[in-house]
C-alpha cells in the first residue's frame, strides 16, 4: 500500500516535488504498469517503494512490512529477500559469466552451492539462455543481457519485482519479447510486478495501469497526462501491493 506519499528534494526556490500525495494499492500477483512521461515521478516512486529512497512523508507497506519505518539495515534485507529490481541499464558485473551474475544474490544470502547452482540453471532455462550461461555480458546482445538481469532479479524468489523502464535500451522487437518474458516469469513465479514504461506492449499485457503526471496520479482522460497510444484498461488502484 502506498498512502499519501510525497517526495521533495531541495528547499526554497530550489524545491522540487517529484511525487505529490500519491496513494494506491496493488493486488497480489498482478502485473501493474506505471505510466507517465519523463519527469512524471515514476522512478522516484519506484525507488521509494523498493526502499532505495525515503519519501518526505507518507507510508509504504510491502508484504505487510512498513518500508518507510525500516532502518537502513532492514531496508537492505528487504531488497535482498523481498523486493527485486530490474533497470534499463542492465547492471551486470562485466567479469562474471551469465550464471555467476544470476547466482550473485544467492551468494550474498549464503545459499548452499548445490541449491544455488540448481536455481541458476532453472532461471537461465526459464529466460532461454541455458546455452549462454558461461558467456560474459560483453558477449551477449542487449536483449540477452536484460534476460540475465531478469533471471538475477528472480534468484531469491522475491515477492515484488520492480522494473524501471526495462526495455528502454532495447529495439522495439526485443523490447516486446522482454515484456512477454516478464509476463511469463511473473506468472510462473507467482509474484507481483510494478513496472514503469512507455512501451505499448507492456500496457497491453498489464493487469492494471497507474498513471502519473507531474508527480500526481491522474486518469487517462486527464489533460495533464501524456501517454503513447491507447493504454491498458483494468481496475486501477485496487487491491494490495505485496
Confidence band of 201 (pLDDT split at 50, 70, 90):
low
Asked whether the beta carbons of 240 and 231 are under 8 A apart, the reply is no
Q: Report how far residue 9's alpha carbon sits from residue 232's, in angstroms, rounded to the nearest whole number.
A: 31
Task: Assign 184 a pLDDT band (cuts: 50, 70, 90).
Answer: confident
Q: How many domains are contained in the chain?
A: 1
- Whether residue 56 is contained in a domain is answered as yes
Question: Do the Cβ atoms of 225 and 48 come closer than 8 Å?
Answer: no
Asked if residue 233 is part of any domain, the answer here is no
Helix (H, G, I), strand (E, B) or coil at 107: helix
Task: Classify 99 as helix, strand or coil.
Answer: helix
Which residues form the domain of 94?
Answer: 2-217
Picking from 80, 133, 128, the residue whose alpha carbon sits closest to that of residue 106 is: 80
In contact, 149 and 90? CB cutoff 8 Å: yes
Give mean pLDDT, residues 65-81: 93
3-state SS, residue 23: strand
Q: Which pLDDT belongs to residue 227?
A: 42
For residue range 94-111, list pLDDT tens digits in order: 999 999 999 999 999 999
- For the cut 60, the answer to whether the pLDDT of residue 93 exceeds it is yes
Is the residue at 238 inside a domain?
no
Angle among Cα 49, 54, 59 to the nearest 5 degrees reads 60
Other beta carbons less than 10 A from residue 148's beta carbon: 27
Find the CATH number of the domain harbouring 10: 3.40.50.300
Predicted confidence at residue 154, as pLDDT, reads 93
Task: Say whether 16 sits in a helix, a strand or coil.
Answer: strand
**Is residue 150 situated within a structural domain?**
yes
Cα gap 105→5, rounded to integer Å: 29
Asked whether residue 232 is assigned to any structural domain, the reply reads: no
13-22, 118-127, 154-163, 211-220: which range is least confident on average? 211-220
Question: Can you state the percent helix, strand and coil of the chain, rounding each to 5?
Answer: 40, 25, 40
- Please report the pLDDT score of residue 237 as a whole number: 41
For 142-164, the DSSP string reads HHHHHHHHHHHHHTT--SEEEEE
Which residues partner with 54 through β-bridges?
Answer: none
In a domain, 229, yes or no: no
Is residue 242, in this structure, part of any structural domain at all? no
- Sequence-separated (6 or more) residues with CB below 8 Å from residue 153: 84, 85, 86, 161, 163
Amino acid at each position: 500500500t502506498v498512502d499519501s506519499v510525497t517526495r521533495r528534494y531541495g528547499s526554497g526556490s530550489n524545491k522540487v516535488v517529484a511525487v505529490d500525495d500519491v496513494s494506491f494499492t496493488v493486488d497480489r500477483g498482478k502485473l501493474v504498469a506505471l505510466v507517465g512521461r519523463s519527469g512524471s515521478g515514476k522512478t522516484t516512486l519506484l525507488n521509494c517503494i523498493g526502499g532505495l529512497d525515503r519519501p518526505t512523508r507518507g507510508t509504504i507497506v510491502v508484504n505487510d512490512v512498513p518500508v518507510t519505518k525500516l532502518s537502513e539495515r532492514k531496508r537492505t534485507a528487504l531488497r535482498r529477500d523481498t523486493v527485486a529490481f530490474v533497470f534499463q541499464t542492465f547492471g551486470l558485473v562485466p567479469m562474471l559469466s551469465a550464471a555467476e551474475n544470476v547466482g550473485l544474490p544467492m551468494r550474498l544470502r549464503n545459499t548452499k552451492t548445490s541449491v544455488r547452482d540448481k536455481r541458476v540453471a532453472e532461471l537461465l532455462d526459464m529466460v532461454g539462455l541455458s546455452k549462454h550461461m558461461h558467456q560474459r555480458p560483453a558477449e551477449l546482445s542487449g536483449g540477452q543481457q536484460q534476460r540475465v538481469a531478469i533471471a538475477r532479479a528472480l534468484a531469491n524468489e522475491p515477492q515484488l519485482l520492480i522494473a524501471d523502464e526495462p526495455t528502454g535500451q532495447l529495439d522495439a522487437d526485443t523490447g516486446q519479447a522482454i515484456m512477454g518474458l516478464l509476463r511469463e516469469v511473473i506468472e510462473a513465479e507467482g509474484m507481483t510486478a510494478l513496472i514503469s514504461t512507455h512501451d505499448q506492449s507492456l500496457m497491453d499485457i498489464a493487469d492494471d495501469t497507474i498513471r502519473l503526471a507531474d508527480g500526481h496520479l491522474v486518469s487517462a482522460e486527464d489533460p495533464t497526462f501524456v501517454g503513447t497510444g491507447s493504454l491498458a484498461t483494468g481496475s486501477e488502484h485496487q487491491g494490495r501491493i505485496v
